[in-house]
């Protein structure tokens, strides 16, 4: 199976079906936010993926890609960077028929935000230690965690309490999208479209085909998309942004204001 065929069957067709099903519910702002997430995903994922391919942590069958590469990565992979957030974003909206989170009061829970970030930071430091240790079987998993947990921690620092408030839709969207994309990935690996180098991955295969690291990758990327879209649409998040902006304005004004002694 060529990479282009994989994209058509498992990504593009589902996107078209979701877009058609959502045609009466999808709002312009929601579409704009999904497009922005896709752009951010492309920019943030490109260096990470090029590093993996350049170091042969995973490889592609040259006969199954178009042969057009940017850096070390085939053009189809860049397309996947863009299409995955669109697919997951539309799926999240489809689960709720395009409804935005209700303007119900969300309790401000700074301790939840702090502890969430602390937990992620511990995992990130462990992953970084494994990566720096040079232990080859842990390379793929550790570099994926180091790459993905930074933006996850930022999302939690801003709105872990908001995400917890909408936890049912968040968990359902992340879990279902991860299961689907992991299954599709297993099909592509089994077909030889791409190969995960066992030298740099743990000897744990889900269903005898899918490396654990691939499932973790889809879990993290779907988490980033669902967290980002949920926060962007939540009324409480918009109020929090306005409050932060007001504080920054006050702080900037205080920095610029000359001391009273200087004025005298």
DSSP annotation string for the chain: --HHHHHIIIIIHHHHHHHHHTTTT--HHHHHHHHHHHHHHHHHHHHHHHHHHHTTSEEE-GGGS-S-EETTEEHHHHHHHHHHHHHHHHHHHHHTTTPPPP-------HHHHHHHHHHHHHHHHHHHHHHHHT-GGGHHHHHHHHHHHHHHHHHHHHHHHHHHHTHHHHHHHHHHHHHHHHHHHHHHHHHTSEEE-GGGS-S-EETTTEEHHHHHHHHHHHHHHHHHHHHHH-HHHHHHHHHHHHHHHHHHHHHHSPPHHHH-
Tell me: the pLDDT tens digits for 4-57? 999 999 999 999 999 999 888 888 899 999 999 999 999 999 999 999 999 999
Domain ranges, ordered by start, for the chain: 3-106+167-263
Q: What is the pTM of this model?
A: 0.90
Tell me: the pLDDT tens digits for 205-263? 999 999 999 999 999 999 999 999 999 998 888 878 887 778 777 777 766 666 555 55
């Amino acid at each position: 199976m060529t990479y282009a065929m994989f994209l058509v069957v498992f990504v593009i067709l589902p996107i078209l079906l979701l877009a058609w099903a959502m045609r009466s519910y999808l709002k312009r702002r929601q579409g704009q936010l999904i497009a922005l997430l896709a752009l951010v995903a492309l920019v943030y994922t490109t260096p990470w993926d090029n590093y993996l391919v350049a170091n042969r942590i995973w490889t592609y069958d040259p006969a199954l890609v178009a042969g057009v590469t940017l850096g070390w990565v085939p053009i189809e992979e860049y397309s996947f960077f863009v299409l995955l957030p669109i697919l997951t974003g539309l799926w999240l909206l489809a689960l709720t028929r395009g409804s935005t989170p209700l303007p119900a009061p969300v309790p401000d829970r700074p301790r939840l935000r702090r502890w969430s970030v602390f937990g992620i930071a511990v995992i990130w430091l462990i992953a970084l230690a494994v990566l720096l240790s040079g232990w080859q079987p842990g390379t793929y998993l550790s570099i994926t965690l180091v790459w993905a947990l930074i933006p996850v921690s930022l999302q939690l620092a801003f709105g872990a309490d908001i995400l917890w408030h909408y936890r049912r839709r968040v968990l359902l969207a992340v879990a279902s999208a991860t299961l689907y994309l992991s299954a599709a990935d297993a099909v592509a690996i089994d077909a030889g479209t791409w190969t995960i180098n066992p030298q740099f991955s743990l000897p744990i295969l889900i269903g005898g085909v899918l490396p654990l690291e691939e499932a973790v990758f889809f879990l993290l990327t779907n988490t980033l998309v669902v967290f980002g879209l949920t926060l962007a649409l939540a009324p409480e998040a918009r109020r929090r942004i306005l409050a932060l902006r007001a504080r920054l304005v006050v702080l900037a004004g205080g920095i610029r204001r000359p001391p009273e002694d200087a004025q005298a």
